[in-house]
Homo-oligomer: A and B are copies of this chain.
Amino acid sequence: MEPQQQQQNQQQPNEDNSSGAKGSFLCRQSSTRWTPTTDQIRILKDLYYNSGVRSPSAEQIQRISARLRQYGKIEGKNVFYWFQNHKARERQKKRFTTDVPMQQRTVSNASNWKPEDYSFHNKHPNVTPGFSSASPSSAGGLTVGQMGNYGYGSVNMEKSFRDCSISASANSGVGGSMNPNYGWVGIDPYCSSYSFFGKQKSIMKP
């Protein structure tokens, strides 16, 4: 991410990469920690910025991780942490720079942190500028999130609108009716409690 300056992107493609993008490099995944592949990152960011996913529910996490699994090894917790971190850091940086609530930043910011890819996906060197409107997925083809599943929000979405500018993703369905997309707005009658990692807890251990 942060395509601005130096980036240390070097995730090793591990096995199976259906995407067939980068070459295969055998590598050291020996590390304990998950090293996301570029495709995985791409998708995660797409979900984050384009679909507005911020704190996916257990179900979503499973789905997402399942989808991402085709691009490399990944577990539910990785997805979970990814969203947590991404969100936290986005907020944090804002905190450092915008701390004082009052004060209008005339020039507004100026240089602070990395511009990152707010708004849309701007980071990948590839992806065509086109930007389709209908399908959120760029290359996957699997849409992880659009099922009619209850979205997670149901509860406090409060100010989630503050930064997420999800630009149009086709059906944002603000109007009412069910909004199939995950996101804010979904009020669902069910709690759909989750056992969440409960099921996959076994894999959750380091």
> How many copies of this chain are found per oligomer?
2
Q: Which of B171, B192, B206 meets A172, CB within 8 Å?
A: B192
Within 8 A of B (CB), among A83-97: 92-93, 95-97
Expressed in whole angstroms, the Cα–Cα distance for A201 and B201 within the complex equals: 10
One of A46-54, A58-66, A135-143 at the interface: A58-66
Q: Which of B33, B113, B155, B198 meets A203, CB within 8 Å?
A: B198
What chain B residues lie within 8 Å of A77 (beta carbons)? Answer: 93, 96, 112-113, 204
What chain B residues lie within 8 Å of A154 (beta carbons)? Answer: 190, 192
Q: Which of B75, B112, B198 meets A113, CB within 8 Å?
A: B75
Interface flags for A139-150 (1: CB within 8 Å of B; 0: not) read 000000000000
Q: Is residue A191 within 8 Å, beta carbon to beta carbon, of the partner chain?
A: yes
The answer to whether B194 touches A204 (Cβ under 8 A) is no
What chain B residues lie within 8 Å of A15 (beta carbons)? Answer: 111
Select from chain B the residue with minimum beta-carbon distance to A192: B155
Q: Which of B96, B100, B113, B168 meets A195, CB within 8 Å?
A: B168
